């Protein structure tokens, strides 16, 4: 047993999906948790905008409508921030740190945008800011990268890290649902952000891959340079063409360390259909890490929802409770590397990224078109690996789908501009990246 048997007193900001899940899990597993920690984790105060939402929840502590009341409560040892947003949440967390409280947050948007400031403040004050719930929900990916892979040089990470968009893609293309129907259900199930544009336009995945890049490579948090594309432009026909070519389309977050800098990007990606990541469906997430000693390791689990996210919040509370009396210099550093050893690497522009590509080109239905496309691509040393063109007798224009070997994106963009300027090409070219996810 711990020498200090007083309960660890928890304050919570926000009692929505994750806040309520956290209270539920703490109550349900109280005995198990106390056996692990050596003392109770007790929720003593929560900020709740609409207190009627607590009906049916056996809430044990004080309730305030004003979140500052929780932050200023001297009886709170650890503050759980699960209200979201990047304005007020930042001020509340900085004030909590200033008053010596430890913080657990699920707020990836806040940490991606203000993480450097928040972690520096926590480091100065000697308190912890724990954020397992902020990345890939229940999957202990922060712990895996920060601690499990601490002996490795990590080469790259690739992950399906937005449950909502993965759920939408699964329901649309496997079950035939409409985009709106799938999004509404994801919201009802508690997977989506308050602003679901963050999910479907890639911002949420970008927040998460930005945080993972920091702890994988020892670089400061740099969300502003993350390239972001979402799933709105995907059409059913792309999913079917991809399948014909042997691929599935997933929204991936990718962070790759190269000799000249770091690639940091989120976009729909074709991946081989027999790869394990291709089988991650619904709200599930998975992160593939490629590192020198471990080789490839894969982390899979529920990436969104009340209880799964609460699982990570409570794990952080347990970590904090176990180490709150330790010398701060003996704790795991926030960003995995010692704060004074973080070193920025240039984040590479997309023009410098190398990848294979899928192009869908809408062109007039007549002879000689393919030759014109191949000629332009050849001028940029880009070679074609495979082609799909279906006969559509009588149609004025047809889609031509090309799978291209690896090339520099800057070269491909120039070639695409030339292709789009051809009189026979009738619409903007759709370009998707293709990743083999091979080791190394
Ligand atoms: N829902 C999920 O699956 C996951 C959510 N997260 C993150 O967890 C955080 C919370 O997400 P959810 O629980 O899904 O959102 P939610 O919208 O269900 O809950 C947020 C709650 O905070 C309350 N709130 C907001 N401002 C407040 C204020 N000033 N005073 C008092 N209450 C206030 C809202 O009324 C709401 O009840 C967000 O940062 C989100 O990005 C992270 C991982 C998964
Ligand atoms: N909206 C997010 C929730 C978890 O981070 C998602 O869908 O993954
Ligand atoms: Na996690």
Residue 108 CA: which ligand 1 atom is closest? Answer: 41
Distance CA 103, CA 14 (A): 14
Separation of CA 18 and ligand 1 centre (Å): 6
Among 137, 281, 309, 313, say which to mutate for ligand 2: greatest number of ligand atoms within 8 Å of CB: 137
Element spanning 372, H or E? helix 369-379
Q: Which residues pair with 289 in a beta bridge?
A: 157, 297
State the span(s) of the chain assigned CATH 3.30.360.10.
Answer: 141-301
Active site (catalytic) residues: 208
Q: Are 206 and 112 in contact (CB under 8 A)?
A: yes
The two structure tokens encoding residue 162: 């937005």
- Rounded to the nearest angstrom, the distance between the alpha carbon of 214 and the centre of ligand 2 is 20
Closest ligand 2 atom to 285 CA: 8
Superfamily covering domain 141-301: Dihydrodipicolinate Reductase; domain 2 (3.30.360.10)
> Ramachandran region of residue 381, left (φ > 0), alpha (ψ -120 to 50) or beta?
left
Degrees to nearest 5, angle at CA 429 with 428 and 433? 145
Q: Residues with beta carbon inside 6 Å of ligand 2?
A: 137, 162-164, 191-193, 199, 204, 303-304
CATH 3.40.630.30 fits 350-434, yes or no: no
pLDDT at 1: 45
In the chain, ranges of CATH 3.30.70.260 domains? 350-434
Contact between 38 and 1 under an 8 Å Cβ cutoff? The reply is: yes
Rounded (10°) angle between helices 163-175 and 179-188 = 130
CATH classification for the domain delimited by 8-138+307-341, as one of 3.40.50.720, 1.10.3470.10, 1.10.10.10, 1.10.490.10: 3.40.50.720
Q: Nearest to residue 71, comparing CAs of 87, 91, 56, 53? A: 91
Q: Residues spanned by CATH 3.40.50.720 within the chain?
A: 8-138+307-341
Please measure the distance between the N-terminal and C-terminal CA atoms of the chain and give it in whole angstroms: 45
| pLDDT tens-place values along the chain, 440 residues long | 446 889 999 999 999 999 999 999 999 999 999 999 999 999 999 999 988 878 878 888 999 999 999 999 999 999 999 999 999 999 999 999 999 999 999 999 999 999 999 999 999 999 999 999 999 999 999 999 999 999 999 999 999 999 999 999 999 988 999 999 999 999 999 999 999 999 999 999 999 999 999 999 999 999 999 999 999 988 899 999 999 999 999 999 999 999 999 999 999 999 999 999 999 999 999 999 999 999 999 999 999 999 999 999 999 999 999 999 999 999 999 999 999 999 999 999 999 999 999 999 999 999 999 999 999 999 999 999 999 998 788 899 999 999 999 999 999 999 999 999 999 999 999 999 999 999 98
Q: List residues near ligand 1 (CB under 6 A).
A: 14-19, 47-49, 67, 82-84, 88, 106-108, 133-134, 137, 190-191, 193-194, 304-305, 309
Angstrom CA distances, 421 to 31, 372, 424, stand at: 68, 12, 9
Ligand 1 binding pocket mutation candidate from 63, 82, 195, 302 (most atoms within 8 A of CB): 82
Residue 206 alpha carbon to ligand 3 centre in Å: 15
């Amino acid at each position: 047993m711990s020498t200090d048997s007083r309960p660890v007193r928890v304050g919570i900001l926000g009692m929505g999906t994750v806040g309520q899940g956290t209270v539920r899990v703490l109550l349900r597993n109280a005995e198990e948790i106390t056996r692990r920690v050596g003392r109770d984790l007790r929720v003593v105060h929560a900020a709740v905008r609409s207190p009627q939402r607590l009906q049916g929840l056996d809430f044990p502590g004080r309730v305030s409508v004003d979140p500052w009341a929780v932050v200023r409560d001297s009886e709170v040892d650890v503050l759980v921030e699960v209200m979201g947003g990047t304005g007020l949440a930042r001020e509340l967390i900085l004030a909590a740190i200033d008053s010596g409280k430890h913080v657990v947050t699920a707020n990836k948007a806040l940490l991606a945008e203000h993480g450097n400031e928040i972690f520096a403040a926590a480091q100065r004050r000697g308190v912890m800011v724990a954020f397992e719930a902020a990345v890939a929900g229940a999957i202990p990916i922060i712990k895996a990268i920060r601690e499990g892979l601490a002996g490795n040089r990590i080469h790259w990470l690739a992950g399906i890290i937005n449950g909502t968009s993965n759920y939408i893609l699964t329901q649309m293309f496997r079950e035939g649902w409409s985009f709106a129907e799938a999004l509404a259900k994801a919201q009802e199930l508690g997977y989506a952000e308050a602003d679901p544009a963050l999910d479907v336009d890639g911002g949420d995945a970008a927040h998460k891959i930005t945080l993972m890049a920091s702890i994988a490579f020892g670089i400061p948090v740099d969300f502003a340079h993350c390239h972001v594309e979402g799933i709105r432009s995907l059409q059913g026909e792309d999913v079917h063409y991809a399948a014909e070519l042997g691929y599935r389309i997933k929204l991936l977050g990718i962070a790759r360390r190269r000799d000249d800098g770091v690639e940091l990007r989120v976009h729909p990606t074709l991946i081989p259909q027999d790869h394990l990541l291709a089988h991650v469906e619904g709200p599930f997430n998975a992160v593939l890490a490629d590192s020198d000693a471990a080789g490839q390791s894969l982390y899979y689990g529920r990436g969104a929802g009340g209880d799964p996210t609460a699982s990570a919040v409570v794990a952080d509370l347990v970590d904090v409770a176990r180490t709150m009396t330790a010398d701060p210099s003996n704790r795991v550093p926030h960003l995995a590397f010692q704060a004074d050893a973080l070193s920025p690497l240039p984040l590479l522009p997309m023009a410098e990224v190398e990848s294979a590509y899928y192009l869908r080109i809408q062109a007039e239905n007549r002879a000689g078109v393919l030759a014109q496309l191949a000629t332009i691509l050849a001028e940029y040393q880009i070679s074609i690996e495979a082609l799909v063109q279906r006969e559509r007798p009588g149609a004025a224009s047809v889609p031509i789908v090309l799978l291209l070997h690896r090339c520099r994106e800057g070269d491909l963009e120039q070639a695409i501009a030339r292709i789009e300027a051809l009189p026979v090409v009738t619409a903007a070219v759709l370009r998707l990246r293709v990743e083999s996810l091979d080791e190394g």
